[in-house]
Amino acid sequence: MILRRLTPELLDALPPDAPEARASRRDLHALNALMGHRRAWRSWLRREFASTPPRAIAELGAGDGAIVAENLLTTFPDGNGATLFLVDRAPCVADGTLRTLQHAGWSVRVEKADVFDWLSEPRPLDAICANLFLHHFDDTALARLLALASRAAPLFAAMEPRRAWLGLAGVAALPLMDAHPVTRHDARVSVEAGFCGRELSALWPRAGWICEERRALPFSHWFCARRT
Ligand SMILES: C[S@@+](CC[C@H](N)C(=O)[O-])C[C@H]1O[C@@H](n2cnc3c(N)ncnc32)[C@H](O)[C@@H]1O
């Protein structure tokens, strides 16, 4: 398909409380469910951690943190003191989400930070995940981000938009679900900035890692790297 093209996303420039931002985040919830991302992250958590939660896991570009937080709660109803870092330069995690996680024994740290700064500080992490986040960066920034992530944890996984005609067809259908204009714009530019082939593996440091990268679900692209 076409080469990757990066266009700034409207949601990134809106104050988290703006009505357009709220509407677009609501659409994102619906889209994450519709595209199968929620289910995919739950399967991944079960596969990787069986019945014991990771001691510390971070979501990069977490936004309201809903996707990983909900899945952690369903998969591990008892967090047993494990730590979840929700990293975003404009986090908007609902108090209800925080309370529910804390009540279930999770220690939640909402980290308002740029990912590059945050990843530069060493902290013990079992895993890092990212949903609809890596496509924000051009290849140079992405190579830097992935290098930092590879030093920060032994396991990294990302679910991203797939750069394919089917994705653009899906975007054209968004008015049918009454998606907000911000969502429609951001969905189109996200597909154009998305990934295909082994583009993320090519940017991941080679030695000492096993990378899995593939088409996932109808519209998505999956990448997982595991330290050997
Ligand atoms: C498309 S939203 C995805 C939110 C969430 N992962 C989801 O699936 O609903 C991308 C998020 O990345 C955050 N973001 C963009 N660039 C960032 C950066 N350099 N550092 C930290 N967060 C960033 C934005 O604030 C936004 O919340």
**pLDDT, tens only, 64-113:** 888 888 888 889 989 899 999 999 999 999 899 899 999 999 999 999 99
Query: What is the per-residue pLDDT across 41-68, written as a single tens digit (0 to 9) for each?
Result: 999 999 999 878 899 999 999 998 888 8
Rounded to 10 degrees, the C-alpha dihedral 125/126/131/135 comes to 70
Token pair of 36 as six digits: 């199968």
131 ligand 1 Cβ < 6 A: yes
pLDDT of residue 2: 83
Task: List phi, psi (to 5°) of 114.
Answer: -75, 135
Q: What is the pTM of this model?
A: 0.95
Separation of CA 10 and ligand 1 centre (Å): 12
Separation of CA 91 and ligand 1 centre (Å): 8
Query: What is the per-residue pLDDT across 133-157, written as a single tens digit (0 to 9) for each?
Result: 999 999 999 999 999 999 999 999 9
Which atom from ligand 1 is nearest to the alpha carbon of 59? 6
- pLDDT bucket at 198, cuts 50 / 70 / 90: very high
pLDDT of residue 7: 97
2 assigned to some structural domain: no
Which atom from ligand 1 is nearest to the alpha carbon of 29? 9
- Our mutation pick for probing the ligand 1 site, out of 7, 10, 12, 64, counting the most ligand atoms within 8 A of Cβ, is 12
> E strand or H helix at 48, and its extent?
helix 37-49
161 ligand 1 Cβ < 6 A: no
Task: List phi, psi (to 5°) of 141.
Answer: -65, -40
Using alpha carbons, select from 30, 13, 6, 22 the residue that is nearest to residue 173: 30
150 ligand 1 Cβ < 6 A: no
203 assigned to some structural domain: yes
pLDDT of residue 1: 63
4 assigned to some structural domain: no
Separation of CA 66 and ligand 1 centre (Å): 12
- pLDDT bucket at 206, cuts 50 / 70 / 90: confident
5 assigned to some structural domain: no
Q: Which residue has the higher pLDDT, 68 or 161?
A: 161
Using alpha carbons, select from 67, 64, 84, 82 the residue that is nearest to residue 16: 64
Residue ID of nearest Cα to ligand 1 atom 18: 114
Separation of CA 63 and ligand 1 centre (Å): 5
62 ligand 1 Cβ < 6 A: yes
90 ligand 1 Cβ < 6 A: yes
Q: Taking CA 122 as the corner, what is the angle to CA 143 and CA 225, rounded to the nearest 5 degrees?
A: 45
33 assigned to some structural domain: yes
Beta strands 220-227 and 155-161 are antiparallel
Average pLDDT for 198-206: 94
Q: How far apart are CA 125 and CA 53, in angstroms?
A: 12
Using alpha carbons, select from 132, 148, 144 the residue that is nearest to residue 191: 132
Read off the CATH number of the domain in which 209 is found. 3.40.50.150
143 assigned to some structural domain: yes
Coil, helix or strand at residue 215:
strand
Query: What is the per-residue pLDDT across 2-34, written as a single tens digit (0 to 9) for each?
Result: 899 999 999 999 998 899 999 999 999 999 999
120 assigned to some structural domain: yes
Q: Which domain holds residue 32?
A: 10-227
Total domains in the chain come to 1
Which atom from ligand 1 is nearest to the alpha carbon of 113? 21
Residue ID of nearest Cα to ligand 1 atom 3: 132
> E strand or H helix at 214, and its extent?
strand 209-216
Q: How far apart are CA 13 and CA 197, in angstroms?
A: 30
Separation of CA 62 and ligand 1 centre (Å): 6
165 assigned to some structural domain: yes
Mean pLDDT lowest among 73-82, 121-130, 185-194 = 73-82
pLDDT of residue 219: 95
